Amino acid sequence: MARAEIVLTSDLSLTSDYNGIPYVGFGACLPQNICPHWIYFKFFCPLEPAYPDGTLVRATLGLRTIEATCIQSGFSREQVKVTHSLYLDKLINKNTKIVGISAEDPLGIGPATSTWSTIFKGIPHNRIEYFRLMRKVKELKNKYGFKVVMGGPGAWEVEAHMDKFGIDHLVIGEGEYVIPELFSQLASPENNGSLDRRVFYGRQVKPKDVPLIQGPALGTYTEISRGCGRGCKFCAPNTAGKMRDFPLEKILHDAKINAKGSRDNSMCLQSEDVFLYGSNSKHFYPDEDAIMNLYKTLFEDVGISRVFVTHSTLAPMAFDPDFFERLTKYLRSKGHRYYGCQPGIETGCSKTIEEIMHGKALPFSSEEYPDMIYDALRTCANLGWTNVCTLVSGLPSEGPDEMKDTIELIKRLDAFPHLYIPLFFVPMQVTSMKNSRAFIADNMTPYHARILLDCWRHNIKHMDRNYRVVASEIGHKAIVKMGIRAMIEVLKAYIRYYERRHPELVMVH
Ligand code: SF4
């Protein structure tokens, strides 16, 4: 019998690389009534394979980081297993002391999920899969008596529901300083696995203390930094403090591990602000040498053929467009066909920027913010980049005047083929806006509807061109292309339907 004392797992919506396209991962936020279970798993969320013993070939970066933390703190590889949630029965037995669960948006109340689920009035896949996993874990817990520990970016969502899900301990924030002590106490025969304290808040970890991953991460996410010093009041990464860059040696190590798990020899850099990597500037100036050195290390020392990125702000592109031209030329010389990142535009209103997120504009002023966004997105479009940009809709301080500024900005940005995705404001419990009211579709005014429709009309106008870019990345997977195509048509039809049903909401100009 395998001796897995610590079993780490996540639900099925976090057990896929979404066909190698991170944006498709947002499919987990769609409610089941518009994207049925079988379509979701067949076209968008093909499940990762497992080894015969039930362990995962590739797992989320969060699980890999906790696995590495356990091993660094003295647990053996035999004691810690990162497991496919379909095969928990294979690894969990009377020897199991702890089941650790990592969750992104377990209740489906994060910004992306609540936007779709309150518009379409359905239950999202991430919530369905989390509930399914927790039913299974509870059943096994009743049989074997282990402790359940949950962490991850969505851990805060279940703080008031721990007993309902059978969760013994919750880790909110970064896990590296909490997990070793917590797990060793729970695994220790002396204290019989019992601890009075139930919720632990993880401190910010020093980059030198972040362990090297021991197995490949899904989506080949390679973490290059943590935190973001820009201080937006509604944002969870803001609470992670100043941006902390990881040493190049760690990135190189993790990239090599991830490269072994990459299906197409690509890599995705995980950061809140990728193009500020290596910058020590208090003014948020990008450091070209540090970024180019990072890219060159990945291409030349790891042998990766494409490097994608997650989040970035837009200020670096507006501040130094020449650098982005040189970077794009470099990527092109390496055979890249797609360039893009996921920035947050959030609003077109300088007043809102100054009140809630003035750091997002730096090194520009809040007054300059809308022009900065325009300049950055024009630079990106001219260089062939397609960014997936989010906006936050329903901020408590935004009335018609503020929203008119956003409507105006979207009109200016219509010339560029980037995607603009409005998401509803969610007062996350780990932010300073936790006492504000969540925004849902029922609270939409004609101005909110205008922003939503202008963005999606724009996205649909450029959908065919963007679809071709995505299709060129996913190669010959005809079935996936078919699924994406079908979802585009559903979206187009829904927007037409919405405009007919709600003429009162779409007349604002
Ligand atoms: S810039 Fe982005 S990641 Fe940083 S605090 Fe603002 S919203 Fe969060």
Among all chains, which residue has been given the structure tokens 């200016």?
412
Averaged pLDDT for residues 199-211: 95
Q: pLDDT at position 474, please?
A: 62
3-state SS class at 201: strand
Band (pLDDT 50/70/90 cuts) for residue 484 is confident
Residue-wise pLDDT for 280-327, tens only, equals: 899 999 999 999 999 999 999 999 999 999 999 999 999 999 999 999
**Is pLDDT above 90 for 194?**
no
Pocket probe mutation, ligand 1, options 204, 225, 234, 238, max atoms within 8 Å of Cβ: 238
Give the C-alpha separation, 34 to 155, whole Å.
Answer: 27
Q: Is 360 in the pocket of ligand 1 (CB under 6 A)?
A: yes
User: If DSSP states are collapsed to H, E and C, what string results for 430-457?
Assistant: CCCCCCCCCCCHHHCCHHHHHHHHHHHH
Band (pLDDT 50/70/90 cuts) for residue 150 is very high
Q: pLDDT at position 473, please?
A: 67
Q: Which of 54-68, 336-350, 430-444, 459-473 has the lowest mean pLDDT?
A: 459-473
DSSP secondary structure string for all residues of 394-435: --TT--HHHHHHHHHHHHHHTTS--EEEEEE----TTSTTTT
Neighbours of 451 (CB within 10 A): 27
Q: Is 358 in the pocket of ligand 1 (CB under 6 A)?
A: no
Averaged pLDDT for residues 462-479: 74
Averaged pLDDT for residues 266-291: 95
Q: Whose CA is nearest to atom 8 of ligand 1?
A: 235
Joined together, the tokens standing for residue 169 give 């301990």
CATH, domain range 216-504: 3.80.30.20
Averaged pLDDT for residues 274-281: 94
Residue-wise pLDDT for 85-110, tens only, equals: 999 999 999 999 999 999 999 999 99
Query: Smallest Cα–Cα separation from 470: which of 9, 20, 51?
Result: 20
Residue-wise pLDDT for 26-67, tens only, equals: 889 999 998 899 989 988 899 999 999 999 999 999 999 999
**Is pLDDT above 90 for 502?**
no
Band (pLDDT 50/70/90 cuts) for residue 1 is very low
312 Cα: distance to centroid of ligand 1 (angstroms): 9
239 Cα: distance to centroid of ligand 1 (angstroms): 10
Q: pLDDT at position 302, please?
A: 94
> Where do the domains of the chain lie?
6-202, 216-504
Whole-angstrom CA distances from 106 to 13, 18, 44, 291, 347 are: 10, 18, 19, 34, 27
Q: Whose CA is nearest to atom 6 of ligand 1?
A: 232
Averaged pLDDT for residues 234-255: 88
Portion of the chain with pLDDT greater than 70, in percent? 96
Joined together, the tokens standing for residue 278 give 């290596």
Q: Is 316 in the pocket of ligand 1 (CB under 6 A)?
A: no
- Looking at residue 281, the DSSP 8-state letter turns out to be -
